[in-house]
């Protein structure tokens, strides 16, 4: 059940990143979508949405791998001395 919930949490950023790619592609082909007044704003919003989705997915994978001990030693958490 936990894996299913994690998959559902990851679907939302994937959709956001996909929409960002669509906006950037539409800008390259000079297709202006309705809520954006010009192409440069449309491309900027698409780029920000893509980065937001990608960073969320990357952070999720990084956190999961750090918890399981599958990352390089330099990214491991420092142990504090009591």
Global confidence as pTM: 0.84
pLDDT at 6: 82
Write out pLDDT tens, residues 41-73: 999 999 999 999 999 999 999 998 999 989 998
pLDDT at 17: 97
CB 23, CB 45: distance < 8 Å = yes
CB 66, CB 76: distance < 8 Å = yes
What average pLDDT does this structure show over 30-46? 97
Place of tokens 């958490």: 77
pLDDT at 78: 82
């Amino acid at each position: 059940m936990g894996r299913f919930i994690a998959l559902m949490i990851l679907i939302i950023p994937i959709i956001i990143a996909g929409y960002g790619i669509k906006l950037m592609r539409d800008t390259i082909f000079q297709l202006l979508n309705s809520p954006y007044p010009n192409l440069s704003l449309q491309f900027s919003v698409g780029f920000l949405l893509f980065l937001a989705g990608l960073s969320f997915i990357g952070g999720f994978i990084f956190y999961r791998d750090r918890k399981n001990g599958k990352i390089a030693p330099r990214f491991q958490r420092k142990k504090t001395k009591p």
